Amino acid sequence: MILSVSRRTDIPSYYAEWFFNRIKEGFVCVCNPMNPHQVSEIRITPDVVDCIVFWTKNPLPMMERLDELKAYPYYFQFTLTGYGKDVEANLPDKKTELLPIFQKLSEKIGRERVIWRYDPIFFSNRYTVEYHLETFREFAGALNGYTDKCVISFLDLYAKIKKNMEDLSFYELEEGELRTFAKEISNIAKQNHISLGSCAEKMDLEDCGIVHNCCIDKELIERLIGFKLSVGKDKNQRQECGCVESIDIGTYDTCRNGCAYCYANSGAKNMEGSAAKYDPALPLLCGGIEKEDKVTQRKVTSLKETQLNIFDL
């Protein structure tokens, strides 16, 4: 299986100790987001985990302990945007802290295993087309040689974030303007030897030099592990999403990054209440198993095809 850590919250940044405890124990418990009383117990030992995909805006709390993952292939999706604290309230300074962290992580594990996410992109009175292009150019220059790929997306205006976006004077571009922007950002990436992909975009941007991306990327994982995988598209994601199947071990309403565009938190009060239940010793993130919960052991297996090394084909 492929382990997603996590689309729902920033585990590397806020819950690293819990994650390493789960690795040490060899299992994790995850609530069904639609029914929190349905709990899956999932084995996460190296014989069944083919790869771990981390999603984070700040991996620093994990970086000194990565040797504990030597039995596991893994890579990072590292989100690094140009927004200020009016949008991403609780992040360290991008230029003085997060860019150097990105560079250090790349030096530690290799550029192929650190994917830069400049997403989601939205436009406002402050975050104009010119602002994004200038920031992207600066960041791409700083990350030249530290990553092979950048992933972008344009903001989807979910109902739960609509008020936040209105407060930020959010506006949308016409399709022609958006394509002109996409071509310019693609050229900047190319100049810095970075390929550019889009995440779950309905618009086809290939003529702008931007391919449809797979964040849970079968081809990348196969290169990292040296085996073919028997795995299909993740049916739980949007139609436009190119990701293959994975198991996400995160919990909604637990991310402390404070991003105005976040779809994974239903509000600050709910997030604070959930995060207050955090205990790194428990198998469930930000909560314990209650007496009314039904715990089921989920059957998991390796996805490797007949253990045949692809380099022998």
Compute mean pLDDT per 10 residues along the chain, 313 residues long, and list them: 97 98 98 94 98 98 97 98 97 98 98 98 97 98 98 91 94 95 97 95 91 94 96 86 94 96 92 96 96 96 76 50
pLDDT reported for residue 158: 86
pLDDT reported for residue 129: 98
Contact between residue 252 and residue 10 where contact means Cβ atoms under 8 Å apart: no
pLDDT reported for residue 157: 87
Task: List the structure tokens of 50.
Answer: 């083919």
Q: How many domains, the chain?
A: 1
pLDDT reported for residue 239: 77
pLDDT reported for residue 114: 98
Using only C-alpha atoms, what is the Rg of the chain? 19
Cα dist from 190 to 141, 144, 158, 180, 243, whole Å? 11, 10, 31, 15, 24
Q: How many residues does the chain have?
A: 313
pLDDT reported for residue 304: 96
Domain enclosing residue 117, as ranges: 2-312
Q: Supply the pTM of this predicted model.
A: 0.95
Instruction: Write phi, then psi, for 15 (nearest 5 degrees).
Output: -130, 35
pLDDT reported for residue 306: 67
Instruction: Write phi, then psi, for 272 (nearest 5 degrees).
Output: -60, -40
pLDDT reported for residue 102: 98
pLDDT reported for residue 296: 97
Contact between residue 70 and residue 57 where contact means Cβ atoms under 8 Å apart: no
pLDDT reported for residue 116: 98
Strands 304-309 and 227-229, sheet pairing: antiparallel
